[in-house]
Amino acid sequence: MTAVDYHILAPTDIAPEVWDEIAPPHARSPMVLHDWTMSTLQAPSQNGAVRVVVSGDPARPDALVPLLVENGPLERHEFIGNTDGGIDVPARDDTALEALARGLVSLPGAVNLLYYPAASRLFDHVAVAARGKALVLRKPQPTPSAPWLELDASWVEPERHIKKKMAQSIRRRERRLNEAGQVRVEFLEPAAHEVEALLDAVIHVEAQSWKQRAGTALLSHEAQRDFLRTYAAKIAHHGRLHITFVYLDDEPIAMSIGEIYNNGYWGHKTGFDERYSRFGPGILLQLYLIRHLAARGVERLDFGGQLDPFKRAWTENAVPTVTLRIYPYTLKGMAALGLDAAQQARRRALGLARGLLASLTSTRGPAQKSAPAAPAG
């Protein structure tokens, strides 16, 4: 049997309609579509290249994986679209993965597929392709990724599906919020020319949350901010962009930005103003959004990210994942391996130091006091 060829292409070498039809309909998510990769490439602050490893005929590929290649001498590759984890590469079937694995191993620099679905057969193909050519590191992740919620008409009343204590808490917070001022919820599907101003409001709300202190807010990340603006304009042109705001006296206090595609809602960013945290604006927004989506017949809500405690309040459905890194036996690949190992050792040492410090602090007892600091100078 003749082996299927692989090719290394630019994203512009593949027609959008061909790209988007590679994955079967049930496996298509916005993150594997052509628009997502092109938005990564076209964002104004993006300074890396994009390579696409293709399995089969470039005119009609059987599988592909788009990779962002960071600037610099090591040429690291990272799976575009899988930043939050749980995303498979687009493939027509399992047989297409063998050539794709050979293509991944052939790259000159390290490859990071991030939090990849643990059930994928791609792991087996990569292991075979890497023999004598690359080191493959796999590590199961304790928290699943890409949580989702199946919706039907009954979710028009979300309170019926959650624990009684949580429902009571939500009703109490909603009552207090309404007592604090006039509450308004907007569900928007803007045109492309309306996107810029709405995203300014989205970024402003998120910047009032813990994400800004943690350094993960859009306001602190130019590349993410540029990507979102570019991508939002694209999907607004196709009528897929969906933005939700919760207002208190005409001030936005919570937001969610996502898209409706393939009769599912895909969440990309959420946030709320911490000054109003006593009202639970984040969970109220989620309640309103679920109610709205169920009423219009949307069948699935993908939360994005990992299955954290907030999302567990709504669902236990998520994708078990494994980190997958490929280090080719090249100068660039081994240099990346050495650098990653050193960084991991440093993080481990810092974690041990913090744990030891916490342990020493807790055993001192409330009656003991630390010695006064020596005077400066």
Q: Could you tell me what percent of the chain has a pLDDT over 70?
A: 95
Range name among 13-17, 240-244, 282-286, 352-356 with the lowest pLDDT average: 352-356
pLDDT (0 to 100) of residue 363? 63
Say which residue, 125 or 351, is predicted with more confidence.
Answer: 125
Residue type, 54: V
- CA-CA distance, 94 to 63, in Å (whole number)? 9
Contact 86, 145 (CB under 8 A): yes
Report, at the CATH architecture level, how domain 148-302 is classified.
3-Layer(aba) Sandwich (3.40)
> What does the DSSP 8-state code read for residue 319?
B
Q: Record the pTM.
A: 0.88
pLDDT (0 to 100) of residue 376? 39
The overall average pLDDT reported for the chain is: 92
Residue 367: is its pLDDT beyond 70?
no
**Which tens digits make up the pLDDT trace of 267-290?**
999 999 999 999 999 999 999 999
**Which tens digits make up the pLDDT trace of 99-147?**
999 999 999 999 999 999 999 999 999 999 999 999 999 999 999 999 9
pLDDT (0 to 100) of residue 90? 94
Nearest to 146 by CA among 304, 269, 30: 304
Q: Residue 144: CB partners within 8 Å, gap ≥ 6?
A: 86, 306, 307, 318, 319, 320, 321
- CA-CA distance, 273 to 253, in Å (whole number)? 5
**Which tens digits make up the pLDDT trace of 1-49?**
457 899 999 999 999 999 999 998 888 999 999 999 999 999 888 777 9
The matching CATH number, chosen from 1.20.120, 1.10.1760, 3.40.630, 1.10.8, for 6-143+320-332 is 3.40.630
Beta-strand ranges (E) seen in 159-224 are 183-188
CA 66 to chain centre: 16
User: Rounded mean pLDDT of 189-208?
Assistant: 95
**What's the first-to-final CA gap in the chain, in angstroms?**
79
Q: How confident is the model at residue 365 (pLDDT cuts 50, 70, 90)?
A: low
Task: Outline which parts of the chain fall under CATH 3.40.630.30.
Answer: 148-302
pLDDT (0 to 100) of residue 225? 93
Cα–Cα separations (whole angstroms), residue 9 to 6, 151, 227: 10, 39, 22
